[in-house]
Structure 1
Amino acid sequence: MLVSYNWLKDYVDLSDITAEELADKITKAGIEVEQVEVLNKGIQGVVIGHVLECAKHPQADKLRICQVDLGEDGPKQIICGAPNVAAGQKVIVAKIGAVLPGNFKIKKAKLRGEESNGMICSLQELGIESKFVPKEYSEGIFVFPFDVEVGSDPLEYLNLHDKVLELSLTPNRSDALSMLGVAYEVAAILGRSVKLPKPAVTETKEKASDYITVSIDAKEDCPYYAARLVKGVKIGPSPLWMQMRLMAAGIRPINNVVDITNYVLIEYGQPLHAFDYDRLGSKEILVRRAKQGEKLVTLDNQERTLKEEQLVITNGTEPVALAGVMGGANSEVHEGTVNVLIESAVFNGQTIRRASKDHGLRSEASIRFEKGIDPLMTKEACDRAALLMAELCGGEILEGVVEANYLDKEPVKVSISTDRINQVLGTSIATEEIANIFARLQFEYTEQNGEFTVTAPSRRRDISIPEDLIEEVARLYGYDFIPTTLPIGDATPGKLTDYQRKRRKVRSFLEGAGMTEAVTYSLTSSEKAEWFKDETTKATPIRLSMPMSEERSTLRLSLIPHLLESISHNNARQIDDVALYEIGKVYISEEKINAELPIERENLAGAITGLWHSHSWQGEKKAVDFFVAKGILEGLFSKLGLEDRIVYEQGKKDGLHPGRTAILKLDGEYLGYVGQVHPEKQKELDLNPTYVFELNLHKLLNTDVDAIKYEAIPRFPSISRDIALVVDADVLAGQVQDVIKEAGSNLLKEVKIFDLYEGEHLEKGKKSIAFSLRYFDPEKTLTDEEVAKAHEKVLKAVEEKLGAVLRG
C-alpha cells in the first residue's frame, strides 16, 4: 500500500511529525514501512514558465525555438523538441543550473546553432514513471490545465513536495489497504482523532429506482449490491490534485469519472465500477454466476470465456462485468458518456480470487475483495463517488440508492481480561491504560472489574479471538516497553544431537572432497521409482492419490535417479565435470507396514562424472573411476571412525556395471553400494561414464563408535616386507588381505595392496596379488628374527586357507 503523506494529512493532524518519524512509529506498531519515497527526488531550480512565442527551428524540423517568460527580466530562449509545445502555454521550466532526478544538471547549450537557456520539462523528466503519466502527456511536455503564477514553484501544484510511505501489509491487515484505514491506524498510534469525509449528497427529484432495478441470484457470492445514478456528466480530465494523488498511489489517471472511482477505491478501500448507463442495454442489474462457456469482452478488449463458478454483473441477459475483477467493454465509460451508473458491492473474496487467477487479471480492486473490505462503508463510498461526480463532472445525482441487501450485520464481540493480557505479555498494564488503547483504536467496549467485552469494528476483520486483542494492546503499548525476562526454572541449553552433528560432519567432508550438495524432488515417476532401489527390503513404490503430473506421481525409493538427471542436465550445458551428493529421505513401504504411512529413511547418495583432477600446466588428467568413488567413501568412513568395520564385497545390482560394483556392509549388515552406472543406462540417459554410491545414512550415523584412542608418535623404526602371492583367479584380494591381518601378530600394523598381475607368465586360472606388510613394535627396535617369525605365520596361513604360494 502506497500512502501519500500529504493526502494522509486530510484525515489526521500530522503538523508536528515528519514522514520519516511517522514511518518509524508505524513500523514499531506492527506494520512495516519498507521505504519513504521523496517524490521531488532532489529537484532544484524549476519554475513555471509562460511560452510567449514558438517558432520552427531553421535547421531542424522537429525542434521549436520558444521565448519563455520565467518571471525574471526579459524572456529566455529555450529550444524544445516536444511535439505539443505551443505559444500561450504555462509549462515547467528547468533553468540554467537546475538539477533534475538522477543528478542531471541543466547547462547553457547550442542546438543546431541556436542558443538554449534551459529545458521545458515533461512529467517523466521530473521523475514520474511513464506508466503513471496521463496519456495526453505521455509523449511531450506537461502543460498546466489552469492558470498558474509565472515564476512560482511547479512542484507545489504537482504535489511533488510529498513523500510516499510504502507499507508492507500482512494478509490479516486488509483494513490498511485504504487511506482511511491507515488514518485510523495512525490516529491510534499518535492518540489523535480521525477527520472522516462526510459526503452530503444533494439529490434531484428524479428517482434512481425509476431507471434501474437490482437483484441478486448468487447471494453467497454477493450479499450486498448498491447502485447510484448520476446524469448529465461531462467526461474530461480530472483535476490536477486528484491526478497527482492517484499517481502517488501508483494509479494512472484516465478521465474524471474513472479517476473518481479509483480515488474512492484508495480512500475508502471500496472498489467501485462506473457503467455507461445508456450502453447498459436495459434497466436491470442482475448479479449471478456465469454460464459455462459464456463470453465477455473486458475493458482490455480481450474476449474472456467464463466458467460457471465465476460471478458476473449482467443487464438481466448478458454479462456487462466480471464481478470484482474487470468491467465489460460493452458498457465502458467513454468520451461521449452522459449518464453514469455507479456500482458499489460486497463480493465473496474466494470467488473473486478464483476468477482473477483464472483470467490472469489481478487489480487493485480484486486484491481488496480477496483480502476483505468493510461492508458497512460500501454505501458511503458510493455516496462519496456520486458527490465527486456532481462536483467535478457537472452531473446530477438522482434520488435514492438502489440496493439489494443480504448482509449479516451481526458484530463480532470478543472478551478478554486485564489479568489475561498481562499474563501473556509479561507486563503489568493497568486496566485504565488498556481501556485507553481500545479507545484510541476506536473499538467499542464495556469494562467491569477488569473484564473487557470489545465489539470489533467492521473494518477490522482480523479481530475475532482474545489473542487478537492481546496483540492490539501489545503493539499500541509498544513492543519496546514489554520487559525481557529469562525463563524461570530448570533450563536445558539447546544443542545438536549426535546424529545431527555427524550429519554435519558428512556434509563438511564431502564438500571438502570436492562434491557439491544437490537437493532434488522427493517425487518421481512410477518407472524411475524402481531404479536403484534398496533390494534388501520389500519396498514397493507409493503413488500419490492426486499427483501434479505423471513425472511427479510416486514417492522415491532411491536418490540416484534424480542425481543422474542433474548430471545429464549439466552435461547438456557443456558442464562435463560434475560431482554431486545428496542427503535426503526415501520412502519405504513394506508388506507389514500400512502403505499410507511409509518409513521415511534418510539416505546419502553421490554421482560423479568427468575429470576428477586436471592440471593443465603439468599436463595431468585423472578421470573419475571406481576407485575415486570408493576412495571418497573410505575417507568418509575414516572420518566417522568406522573404517575397520566396513567390508566391500563384489556384487551385482540392477542399473550398475556388473564388474564395477561393490556392496558395502557395516558389521556384516547391508549398508549400500558403490559402482559405475551400467553402459546401457548411461546411453539411455545420455551420460558419460558415471559412478554412483548410495548408503543408508540412518544406519551409518546411528552406529556406536568407540572413543578415539591416541597413540604416541613412534620412536622406533618399522620394517616392511613385500610379497606377491599367486592365487586362483576367483579369490578376492580382500579375502587374502583379511587372512593376512588375522594371521599377523600384534607386530603387523599395516597391509596394503600395490599390484595385481594376470598374464602369460602365470598359468591359466591364476593371478598374482602383491602386498606390502609393515611390522612395528612401539616398545623396541624389531630384529630380523622377530619379523621373519611373524612373516612366516602369514605365509603359512594364506597357503593353508587360500592355497596361495609365493610368486618366484
Structure 2
Amino acid sequence: MRISVNWLRELVDVTLAPEELAETLTIAGLEVEEIEDRRQLADGVVIGKIVERQPHPNADKLSVCQVDIGQPTLLNIVCGAPNARADIYVPVATVNTYLPAVDLKIRPTKLRGVRSEGMICSLAELGLEKESAGIHIFSQENLKLGGDVRPLLGLDDVIIDISPTANRADALSMVGVAREVAALTGASLHLPKVAPISIPAGEGILSLKVADKQACPAYIGTVIEGVKIAASPEWLQRRLQAAGVRPINNVVDATNYILLEWGQPLHAFDRDRTQALAGGDSLTIGVRFARENESLKTLDGQTRSLKPQNLLITANDRPVALAGVMGGEETEVHSGTQNIILEAALFDPVATRRSSRAQSLRTESSARYERGVNQAELDIACHRAIALIVELAGGTPIAQTVADGRENTTSQPIQLRLARIHQVLGAVKRDNAIGQIEAEDVERILTDLGCQLELASTKDKVWTVTVPPYRCRDLEREIDLIEEVARLFGYDRFIDKLPDKTEPGGLSFEDRAQRQLREAFRAVGLTEVVQYSLVKPEKDEVVLANPLFVEYSALRTNLLDGLIDAFEYNQSQGNGALNAFEIGRIFSRSEDGVQEADSIAGILGGDLISEGRWSRSGKPAPMTWYEAKGILESVFDRLGLAVEYQPDRKDDRLHPGRTASLWLGGKRLGTFGQLHPQLRQKRGLLDAVYGFEMSCSVLLGALAREDLQTPHFRPYSTYPALERDLAFFAPVKVSVVELEMAMKKAAGGLLDKVELFDEYRGENVPDGQRSLAFSLAYRASDRTLTDAEVEPVHNKIREALVERFNVSLRS
C-alpha cells in the first residue's frame, strides 16, 4: 500500500518527518518497504511561459523558444515537442537541474548550432508518466513565473510504501493508516464527512438476486443517470498516480479513489450496455457461482473459461464480472457512457481467494476482499462514492436496491486482565527506570485504537473491551489486545534480559533416535532426500479443502511412491540409479479423523560396483535381492536390532514372490521387496529395483531399550570355535529364519553362529524341496571345546530339524 504523506496529513494531524513516520510504523508492525521522495523528481524545475516560438533554422522538427521564468532575461531553449507554442505555461528545468526519471543533468549546450539554456519538460521526464507525446502545458492561468512546479504536479509529496501483515486488512486504506498513526502519535483524526444520501428504492428499475448469502453478505446497486464521462481533475489524477493507480476517467477514478481511501472496492457498470447484454425489459443483477462451459471477457482483454469456484456478477443470469476480482469488458464504462450502475458489495474472503486463484488473477480489489473489508463502513463508502461521482461527472441517482444479509457487526466484548498483561509482556522501560505497564497506559492505548473500555473489576484491574468494527477480524481474544498494547507501547521499550537461571539444552530421545537412524542409512551408502508432503490425489488420500495447485492437493499416504518417482526422474536425466531413503510424515483416514505418523522408506537399484567393471567387460550387473537385503541387514546390525522376515504378497507395487514383511519384537515393522515387473516396465526402470518402508514408531520403540541406549560390554571368548557343516533337503515353504531359530533353540548356549552358505534347486533334489547347507560354529567362553562335547549338541540339532520340519539329512 503506497501512502501519500500529503494525503495522510489531511486525515490526521501528524507532524513527524516522513523518515520518522516510517520508523514509527515499522516498529508498530506495519513494515515500510520503501520511502519514495517525489520532491526530488522536479527539484529545480520552475514555472515558465513561452513568450515566442520560432522554427529552428537547421532542423525541421525543432523549434527555438524564448521562455520567461521571472528573470530579467529570457531563456533561449531549443525544444523538439510538437505542441510547443507561444503563450503557454510550462515546466522548465533550469541549468544544473538533475532529472532522476531520465538520469539527465541539464547543461548549457548547442543543438544544431543554436544555444539552449534549459529544457521544457514533459510528464515522462518528470517521472509522472511512462511516455508523453509532448511537453506538459499547465491549464491554470496567471501562474507565478519562476515558482516551484512541484505543488502543481503533486510532486511536493513523499510516498511511504508499507507491507501490512495478512491480519491487518484495515491498513490497506488511507483511513485505516490514519487511524493507526493517530493511535501511535496521539494526533487528531479528520476523517471525511459523509452525509447520508436519500435515494428512491429500485423497484421496477433494478432487482437483485443473491444465490449464496455467505459468499455475498451484502450488495448495494445504485443507478445513476446522466453522467458525463471526462478526464478527472488533476488533483485526483495526481493522487491516484501517487498511489500507483493509472487514471482512466472521472467515474472509474472516483471508485478507485474510494478504494484507496476507505479500503472498499467498488465497480461501475455501463447500464445501457448491461441492459443490452442481458436482454429483456427488466434488469436483475445476480450473484452466483459459475457453471460449466461459461466464459467472460474481463477488463484486461482476456477471455476466461470460468470454473465452478468463480463467483460471478450476472445481468439476467449472464456473467458480466468476476465478483470482487475484475469487471467484464462488455459492460465497462467508456467515453460514451451516460448511465451507470454502481456496485458496492461485500464478498466472502475465502470465496474471493479461490476465485482469484482459479483464474491466476489478483487485483487491488481481490487483495482487499481476501483479507476482509470493513462490513460496518460499506454504506459510508457507497455514499461517499456516489457524492464524488455526482460532483465530478454530474448525473442523478434515481434508484438504489439493497440485498443485506449482514449479521450484527458489533463484536463480542473481551475480558482483559492487567495481571495477564504483566505476565505476558514482563518489565518495560519507563523514564530511565524499569517498571510495568500501568493501567493508564492500557486505557490510553486501547482508547486511541477506537476500543471502548469498561472497568469490570477495580481491585484486579479487569476491563470489558468492545472492539471497533474495523478491527473485529483482527482483535478476537485477550491475547490479541495484549499484542496491541505491546505494539503501541513500543517493542523498543521492552527489557532484553535473559532469565536468571538457565539450564543446558539437549535433544529429546526421538531426535537422538532419528539422528541415529539417518546416520545408519547414510553409512550404507544411501542418500537422504526430502520430498513434498502434498501429492496429486489418486486413491484414498486426504484431500485439502483449499489447495494451491491440483498437483499438490492431497496429503501423501506413504513415502515409497515419491521415491519411485524420484528414481524414475533421476534415471531419465541420465543420473543412473538413485539409492536413497527418506524420513517423513504420512497421513491416513480413520474413524477418529485424519491420523499422522512418521515413516521411513528407501529405494535401491543399479550396480553396486561403480568401478572395476572391466572384469565384466564393462557391463553393469543388476542388484540381487540378497544384495539389497544385505544393505538393509547392515543397517539393522548397526542399530543392534534383530528383524525377522516373513513372506508377504499384500503390496501390489512389489513382486509377489520377492517381498517380505518385516517384524521386530512381535510387531509389524514394515515391508521390503523388489518392485513388480509390470510397474518397472511401465516406468521404464532398471531391471531390479528394491524398496522398503517401515514405521518410525516401531523402530523408535525398539531403540528405546536400555541395552541399546546404554551399550554394555560383553566379554568375547579367547578360545577358538569348533565348526560343523549341516546339509539337508527342506521344504521350500520353510524359511531359513525358522530353521536358524530352531537350531539355536536346540543347541542352547554353545552354538555361537549359524550361517547359510549354499542353496540348490534342480536335478537330484525332490520336488517342492531345496538343498540347504549351513555352517555352525560352536564356542565356549572358558575353554576349548572338544568333539565329545560338540557332537551331542550337533545331533540334537539334527533331530530337532527332522522332528519339526521333516527335513532329509544329507550330512
Q: How many residues align?
A: 753
Q: Does 2:507 align with 1:501?
A: no
1:514 corresponds to which letter in structure 2?
Answer: L
Taking the aligned partners of 1:113 and 1:744, their CA distance within structure 2 comes to 115
Could you tell me which residue of structure 2 aligns to residue 262 of structure 1? 256
Could you tell me which residue of structure 1 aligns to residue 707 of structure 2? 706
Taking the aligned partners of 1:384 and 1:700, their CA distance within structure 2 comes to 67
Of stretches 647-656 and 333-342 in structure 1, the one that deviates more from structure 2 is 647-656
Could you tell me which residue of structure 1 aligns to residue 631 of structure 2? 632
Matches within 5 A, 1:750-765: none
Q: Does 2:439 align with 1:439?
A: no
Could you tell me which residue of structure 1 aligns to residue 489 of structure 2? 477
The one-character-per-residue Cα deviations of 1:96-129 (angstroms, maximum 9, x if unpaired) are 894746978899999999999999887677777x
Could you tell me which residue of structure 2 aligns to residue 574 of structure 1? 574
Conservation of the 8 A alpha-carbon contact between 1:228 and 1:386: no
Matches within 5 A, 1:744-755: none
Taking the aligned partners of 2:283 and 2:541, their CA distance within structure 1 comes to 53
Residue in structure 1 matching 2:160, options 150, 159, 165: 165
Taking the aligned partners of 1:525 and 1:306, their CA distance within structure 2 comes to 19
The one-character-per-residue Cα deviations of 1:66-115 (angstroms, maximum 9, x if unpaired) are 6577969854557x7x9x77667846869789474697889999999999
Secondary structure class of the residue paired with 1:197: coil
Taking the aligned partners of 1:792 and 1:169, their CA distance within structure 2 comes to 85
1:560 corresponds to which letter in structure 2?
Answer: L
Could you tell me which residue of structure 1 aligns to residue 805 of structure 2? none
Conservation of the 8 A alpha-carbon contact between 2:587 and 2:595: yes
Matches within 5 A, 1:549-560: 559-560=559-560
Could you tell me which residue of structure 2 aligns to residue 143 of structure 1? 136
Could you tell me which residue of structure 2 aligns to residue 606 of structure 1? 602
Conservation of the 8 A alpha-carbon contact between 1:647 and 1:668: no
1:190 corresponds to which letter in structure 2?
Answer: T
TM-score, normalised to structure 2, is 0.71
Taking the aligned partners of 2:250 and 2:600, their CA distance within structure 1 comes to 66
Secondary structure class of the residue paired with 1:9: helix
Gaps of 5+ in 2: 427-435, 802-807
Taking the aligned partners of 2:612 and 2:54, their CA distance within structure 1 comes to 74
Q: CA deviation at 1:266?
A: 0.4
Q: CA deviation at 1:607?
A: 0.8
Conservation of the 8 A alpha-carbon contact between 1:437 and 1:476: yes
Could you tell me which residue of structure 1 aligns to residue 187 of structure 2? 192
Taking the aligned partners of 2:722 and 2:125, their CA distance within structure 1 comes to 87
Residue in structure 2 matching 1:515, options 504, 524, 527: 527
Taking the aligned partners of 1:331 and 1:106, their CA distance within structure 2 comes to 47
1:266 corresponds to which letter in structure 2?
Answer: L
Q: Does 2:468 align with 1:457?
A: yes
Taking the aligned partners of 1:306 and 1:603, their CA distance within structure 2 comes to 37
Conservation of the 8 A alpha-carbon contact between 2:150 and 2:156: yes
Q: CA deviation at 1:253?
A: 1.6
Taking the aligned partners of 2:557 and 2:355, their CA distance within structure 1 comes to 39
Taking the aligned partners of 2:793 and 2:296, their CA distance within structure 1 comes to 95
TM-score, normalised to structure 1, is 0.71
The one-character-per-residue Cα deviations of 1:727-782 (angstroms, maximum 9, x if unpaired) are 659898879988998999999988888x769799x9879989797989898x9xxx
1:183 corresponds to which letter in structure 2?
Answer: A
Conservation of the 8 A alpha-carbon contact between 1:222 and 1:287: no
The one-character-per-residue Cα deviations of 1:520-557 (angstroms, maximum 9, x if unpaired) are 6688888xx7xxxxxxxxxxx89989999999999987
Taking the aligned partners of 2:202 and 2:597, their CA distance within structure 1 comes to 73
Taking the aligned partners of 1:565 and 1:701, their CA distance within structure 2 comes to 27
Conservation of the 8 A alpha-carbon contact between 2:290 and 2:311: no
Secondary structure class of the residue paired with 1:604: strand
Matches within 5 A, 1:390-789: 393=392, 395-396=393-394, 398=396, 402=400, 404=402, 411-412=410-411, 414=413, 416=415, 419=418, 422=421, 425=424, 429-447=437-455, 449=458, 452-462=463-473, 463=475, 468-481=480-493, 496-512=507-523, 513-519=525-531, 559-584=559-584, 602-612=598-608, 614-615=610-611, 624-642=623-641, 645-647=642-644, 656-657=654-655, 664-667=662-665, 671-688=669-686, 689-703=688-702, 704-707=705-708, 708-709=710-711, 789=786
1:706 corresponds to which letter in structure 2?
Answer: D
Taking the aligned partners of 1:717 and 1:114, their CA distance within structure 2 comes to 110
Of stretches 650-659 and 465-474 in structure 1, the one that deviates more from structure 2 is 650-659
The one-character-per-residue Cα deviations of 1:4-46 (angstroms, maximum 9, x if unpaired) are 3332222223333333x323322333x3315124255986987
Cα distance, 1:664–1:459 mapped onto 2, change above 3 Å: closer
Q: CA deviation at 1:421?
A: 5.6
Of stretches 663-672 and 4-13 in structure 1, the one that deviates more from structure 2 is 663-672
Q: CA deviation at 1:721?
A: 9.2
Could you tell me which residue of structure 1 aligns to residue 237 of structure 2? 243
Q: CA deviation at 1:259?
A: 1.4
Taking the aligned partners of 2:792 and 2:102, their CA distance within structure 1 comes to 87
The one-character-per-residue Cα deviations of 1:549-576 (angstroms, maximum 9, x if unpaired) are 9999999876434432332243334343
Taking the aligned partners of 1:472 and 1:650, their CA distance within structure 2 comes to 63
Taking the aligned partners of 2:553 and 2:366, their CA distance within structure 1 comes to 34
Gaps of 5+ in 1: 530-540, 780-785
Taking the aligned partners of 2:183 and 2:484, their CA distance within structure 1 comes to 11
Q: CA deviation at 1:671?
A: 3.9
Could you tell me which residue of structure 2 aligns to residue 18 of structure 1? 18
Conservation of the 8 A alpha-carbon contact between 2:312 and 2:319: no
Identity of aligned residues (%): 29
Taking the aligned partners of 2:199 and 2:647, their CA distance within structure 1 comes to 95
Could you tell me which residue of structure 1 aligns to residue 7 of structure 2? 7
Of stretches 594-603 and 453-462 in structure 1, the one that deviates more from structure 2 is 594-603
Conservation of the 8 A alpha-carbon contact between 1:719 and 1:775: yes
Taking the aligned partners of 2:306 and 2:536, their CA distance within structure 1 comes to 35
Taking the aligned partners of 2:520 and 2:605, their CA distance within structure 1 comes to 19
Taking the aligned partners of 2:773 and 2:126, their CA distance within structure 1 comes to 85
Q: CA deviation at 1:702?
A: 0.8
Secondary structure class of the residue paired with 1:442: coil
Taking the aligned partners of 1:332 and 1:278, their CA distance within structure 2 comes to 10
Cα distance, 1:377–1:680 mapped onto 2, change above 3 Å: closer
Cα distance, 1:194–1:556 mapped onto 2, change above 3 Å: closer
Cα distance, 1:242–1:191 mapped onto 2, change above 3 Å: same
Taking the aligned partners of 1:697 and 1:461, their CA distance within structure 2 comes to 44
